Amino acid sequence: MFLHTTHVEPRPGHRLFVRFNNGMAGELSLAGELWGEMFEPLKDPALFATARHDEMAGTVVWANGADLAPEFLLQLLEAQARQAA
């Protein structure tokens, strides 16, 4: 089974709530990940808020064409959960 998102919800503070097809779900922060040509524009809260689940890509996408691999999102979610514990 290929990992993909099933639900994406943008939240304030450059955070996303993400649900995956493997049953994992949670809120993660992308504040420290928004660098580079495609991602720096997402520092604008209005553009970040355009985050949505894309059925074809199986992951989060933004209005400017940026996207993140679901594997990266899951790893980040797990790492942030460990840090919070």
Per-residue model confidence as pLDDT tens digits over 12-56: 999 999 999 999 999 999 999 999 999 999 999 999 999 999 999
Residue 33: the pLDDT is 96
- The confidence score (pLDDT) of residue 1 equals 75
Domain limits for position 38: 5-84
65-75: average pLDDT: 97
Residue 82 Cα to chain centre, angstroms? 18
CATH number of 31's domain: 3.30.2020.10
- Burial of 47-76, coded b for 16+ CB within 10 Å and e otherwise, reads ebeebebeeeebbbbbeeebebebeebbeb
Would you give the distance in Å from CA 37 to the centre of its chain?
17
Domain count, the chain: 1
- Give the side-chain half-sphere CA count within 13 A for 84: 10
| pLDDT classification of 84: cutoffs 50, 70, 90 | confident
The pLDDT value recorded for residue 85 is: 79
